[in-house]
Chains A and B, each alone.
Chain A
Amino acid sequence: MTIRECYAALGGDYDDVIGRLRSERLVQKFVLKFPEDGSYALLHSSLEAGNTEEAFRAAHTIKGMCQNLGFTQLADSGSALTEALRHGDAAQAAALLPKVDEDYAAVTAAILAFKESNGL
């Protein structure tokens, strides 16, 4: 699996990210780092604890990272969730969360596949 194929699998835009970051090495480095980021876990834990403010920041961070990395699909669903949480709309956030979970799962699965196929 190439990094480009990985992007196709996770619903991202490789041309966009390589156009901005200029280096395949850097893109790969950050892609591999993505699953290690704690924001997704924080999003869930703070939602469970009913801390909308914290959840907003976590969603916001996820959205920002995905925008930087060109993970278009997750950036979009993350962005919608961020806006719902910004306005403290818990019901809408709950409705939007499954799509974020789904996109996040797709991203991590693709990254894992990429990692394994390249023996990283």
Chain B
Amino acid sequence: MDTSRRTQREKILIVDDSEMNRSILADMLGEEFDVREAEDGEAAIGILAEEGSSFSLVLLDIVMPRKNGFDVLREMNRTRLIDDLPVIMVSSETASDQIEQAYELGATDFIMRPFDASIVHRRVLNTILLYAKQKKLLGIIEEQLDEKEQYSAMMVDILSHIVEFRNGESGLHILHVRTITDFLLRKLLKKTDKYAFSEADISIISMASALHDIGKIAIDDKILNKPGKLTDEEFAIMKSHSMIGAKMLEGLTAHKNDPLVKRAYEICRWHHERFDGRGYPDGRKGDEIPISAQIVALADVYDALTSQRVYKPAYTPEEAKEMILGGKCGAFNPLLLEILSEEFSSLKEAIKDETGRNAGKRDIRNFADAMLHARGTSASDRTLKLLDYERMKFNFYAELTEEIQFEYVFAEDLLKLSPWGAKKLGVTEELVDPAHNEALCAQFGARWFEELGELLAQTTVENPEIRHEFPLAIGGEERWYDLIIRTIRSDDIPPKIDSAIGKLVDVHDVHTTLMQLKESSIRDPLTGLLNRTGVAEEIAEKLKGFPEKQYAFAVFDIDEFKSANDVYGHLFGDKVLCEVAERLMHNTRAGDVCARIGGDEFLVVFEYNVDLHPIIARIFKSVCGKVGPFDMTVSMGVAEMTEKNEPYNEIFQKADIALYVSKNSGRATYRFYDASMVGKIAANAADAGHGRILADESGADAPQDQEKLS
């Protein structure tokens, strides 16, 4: 690893009570790192308290006077320094409980004494690099999360301000409610363990609190800003705002499972409920009301009391507190009332602070401008640009590949398509409830979504991918498509499928070519009959019907074919072959298999019931006959299948032997195989003194004949 590029030297703290041990480590690492030494745990804790964050690594002994290694680890846990600063234990302790304890207290690694210099060096370096990388990644993630949250916050602010302006409120109401909500949440968390909130929950609930009155957008101006008392009818309309707000949020189908939207829903709907059950719209009681809504209700009332409204002057904070505690403005959770009374002064402070901090940002436009300008040169802007660039690159390639790329998120029931894919399918890039989309159902079939679900169900954690090839009528024309999907599962036990990504690729041309290639590999291009390979494949399956069914092989070749070729030319020879094929096709049944298995040699395999002879006679007769000037005859050999699983080759050989016999009998005839033929052939071959059995004047396929002999 290249360490020379690090301009600033990393700092290491060596903690060991033996000067010699420190010195050995310092000598090993001193060339590359800045080394600080501490002679015991107490000294180490002192150094870490002052400049802990400047170190990149701690090498820590266990057994030391005045605070041992575990004490140092415990202190680092208390100050949370252990999260950022890796600790490697160096000790001669071999007891596993000691090692275990060190790891439990957050030590990164454990080096046993006596140690090897190069291993110490390597582990130190690796640990430092690993932490540096992690820190960098954490930084990037934090920055992006922060950014996302800020944008959400801005959108929420804009939205809530619109409502606020209509309500004629001060513009600070939303801000105050949010501050008070945040304050009460934190205090509540300290007071009781009845409710569990993470830091993220607090942030989301506070943000959602800003939306508590969005339903008022639907309430008539005249009622909303009426200075005098509302009539019963008007009040009923006014009260509907909580349900309207909830409905608005519920209507956000694509986001309905978003935590912010969920919390905002609770708050909108129930922030006018009362702890005693006398509120609206549902009359919920006590903790039936979500705590988020309980808190916002109190925050809302408190701030309304302390602000001036068209129908009332502002009360002082103290007056407001007394009114609330006295039960004059509603009924609240006693725990919250306790907090209001106990923490009143710090609550006032918090509101004052927040107001001060945000005074300059009251105008949402200034606020947004400030935010946008402030980030003009920040690193996160570069990140955004890079992301944009990546997105552009991705789209470009996606466009070129002509694939329908997609992503489906179950929680949101949302299908996202690549731009090209959306165009191809004639739908938008984002689709909610794709199962019932008409365009998709028309192209994929009404049950497409269920079928897709069945495919996804076949994936597992280990094998999250699935491929499936099938014809689809996208854009009206039926073509073959290859579907590749990968499922993404949650960390739950058992994991459930969160989403699926994939693509649909048009493989029609490839598919067709493949089919054609396959076809051509088993067919004779001249006659269109099966070739040797093809017939072997086709027949193997067919022959399994034996012995319920009976099969026969008829092999024949054209008599004097070579002379015909010589006299009339090769083109004529081709014509003869085609004519034979034609005659065969016309005189065999659909289930029969006809093949040209070599030069002028043909094979017919067929099923028969009782008597084979008339069938052979018919085939023989139909094939023979003039082709142009050539008076064509054939010699034919026939063999029956006689036992179960008799191989194709063996039956073929028998037929071929019979063919040989019919040739020797003066051609233009057919013979049925019987076992005595074999002996005769062998005798003839010996007489002739050569290895070829068959006369080759017809140009028949020579190698095949030799096979027969071997």
Residues of B within 8 A of A29 (CB): 27
**CB pair A37 B19 closer than 8 Å:** yes
* Size of the chain B interface, CB-CB below 8 angstroms: 21
Which residues from chain B contact A108 at a C-beta distance below 8 Å?
Answer: none
Least CB distance, B37 to chain A, in whole angstroms: 15
Contacting residue for B18 out of A19, A20, A39, CB 8 A: A39
Interface contact A30-B115, CB-CB below 8 Å:
no
A55-92 near B? 1/0 per residue, CB < 8 Å:
01100110111011110000000000000000000000
How many inter-chain residue pairs (CB < 8 Å) link A and B?
59
Asked if A67 contacts B24 (CB within 8 A), the reply is: no
A67 touches B116 (CB 8 A): no
Tell yes or no: B384 within 8 A of A by CB: no
Whether, in the assembled complex, A4 has its beta carbon less than 8 Å from a beta carbon of chain B, the answer is: no
Complex contact B92–A60 (CB within 8 A): yes
Q: Quick check: A68 and B115 within 8 Å, CB to CB?
A: yes
In the complex, A29 Cα to B92 Cα: how many Å? 21
Knowing A20-B117, A65-B18 are in contact, say whether A33-B23 is a contact too (CB < 8 A): yes
CB distance from A54 to the nearest CB of B (A): 7
Which chain A positions have C-beta within 8 A of B64? 57
CB atoms of B113 and A57 under 8 A apart: no
Q: Which of B1-52 contact A (CB under 8 A)?
A: 17-21, 23-24, 27-28
Interface size class of A (residues with CB under 8 A): 20 to 34
B21 A21 Cβ-Cβ under 8 A: no
Whether, in the assembled complex, B458 has its beta carbon less than 8 Å from a beta carbon of chain A, the answer is no
Q: Does residue A1 face the partner (Cβ distance < 8 Å to B)? A: no
Q: Answer whether residue A101 sits at the interface, using C-beta atoms and an 8 A cutoff.
A: no
Q: Are the C-beta atoms of B21 and A68 separated by less than 8 Å?
A: yes
The residue from A21, A34, A54 contacting B20, defined by CB atoms under 8 A apart = A34
Q: Mark B526-564, 1 if CB is under 8 A from A, else 0.
A: 000000000000000000000000000000000000000
A113 within 8 A of partner (CB)? no
> Is the pair A61, B114 in contact by a Cβ cutoff of 8 Å?
no
Whether the Cβ atoms of A67 and B92 lie closer than 8 Å is yes
Give chain B nearest CB distance to A11 CB in angstroms.
15
Quick one: CB contact mask for A20-41 with B, threshold 8 Å, 1 for yes?
A: 1111001001100110010100
25 contacts between A and B (CB under 8 A): A16-B114, A17-B114, A20-B115, A20-B116, A20-B117, A21-B117, A22-B117, A26-B24, A29-B27, A30-B24, A33-B20, A33-B23, A37-B18, A37-B19, A57-B17, A57-B63, A57-B64, A57-B65, A60-B63, A61-B17, A64-B18, A68-B24, A68-B114, A68-B115, A70-B114
List 5 A-B pairs, minimum CB-CB distance, nearest first: A67-B114, A20-B116, A64-B92, A60-B63, A61-B18
Chain B residues near A (Cβ < 8 Å)? 17-21, 23-24, 27-28, 61, 63-65, 91-92, 113-118
Other A-B pairs, 13, CB within 8 Å; known A56-B63, A67-B114, A68-B21 = A17-B114, A20-B114, A22-B117, A22-B118, A33-B23, A34-B20, A37-B20, A57-B65, A64-B113, A65-B18, A65-B20, A67-B92, A68-B114
